[in-house]
Structure formats: C-alpha cells, structure tokens
Amino acid sequence: DAGVTQSPTHLIKTRGQQVTLRCSPKSGHDTVSWYQQALGQGPQFIFQYYEEEERQRGNFPDRFSGHQFPNYSSELNVNALLLGDSALYLCASSLTGNAEAFFGQGTRLTVV
C-alpha cells in the first residue's frame, strides 16, 4: 500500500520564478492538505482540497494556489517566488470524515 508520495524531493528556483509541486495521496484517501514547514518550525497550513475544490485556506497570499485532480492527486503552485518561500512543503492526505492525516516526505524548495 503506497503511502503519500511527493515530487520532486528537492528543487532550486530563482526569485520571481514559478514552481509546481505534486502529491499523490495514500490509497483510498480523497482529501489533500498542503503545509509549509520553515526550518526549525512546525508545519503551517496552506490549504485543503476535497472534491477538486479548495475547502479551506490558511493565511497564505494568493501567490499560493492549488488544484486537485479527479484521481485525488494534487498540485501546489507558487508564483513570483520570494526568498522567504524557501521551506519544506508537505502534503498530507486523509479520508474525509476521518481525522487522521498522513504526510509525504516533502519537497525541499530553495529559492535563490
């Protein structure tokens, strides 16, 4: 049973560029949440997708957007990258109605 998988594992981008991160949820899960984890801190909620729609959003600017596909996989897009966007981006999947959230290994984004 494959767990949550994210790609790529590492990424280096230049300020002002755009980036797309991908997530495949755990088998049987239909909900995907994205979190940003800065070095030395706990994860911060970006948004959650369910039934291909953004269900809830955290305190992140509109430069952060996402998408969920019919197979429940998801993308996180970040436009106009800033140095402060450098972080570990985590995807968590769950089954709606079930509180347990399972994380992928993350994508380490470095903005230079």
Q: Is 25 in the site for other proteins (CB under 8 A)?
A: no
Omega within 30 of 0 (cis) for the link into 8 = yes
Say which residue the tokens 């911060």 belong to: 44
CB of 26 to other proteins, least distance (A): 11
Q: Which residues contact 77 (CB under 8 A, 6 or more apart)?
A: 18, 19, 20, 21, 64, 65, 66, 67
Q: What is the dihedral of CA 32, 46, 42, 69, to 10 degrees?
A: 20
Residues 43-102 binding other proteins (CB under 8 A) are 43-45, 48, 55-56, 58-59, 90, 99-102
State which residue, 17 or 96, has the beta carbon closest to other proteins.
96
CB of 109 to other proteins, least distance (A): 14
Q: How is residue 26 annotated by DSSP?
A: P
CB of 98 to other proteins, least distance (A): 9
How many residues sit in the footprint of other proteins (CB under 8 A)? 25
Binding site residues, other proteins, CB under 8 A: 4, 6, 31, 33, 35, 41-45, 48, 55-56, 58-59, 90, 99-106, 108
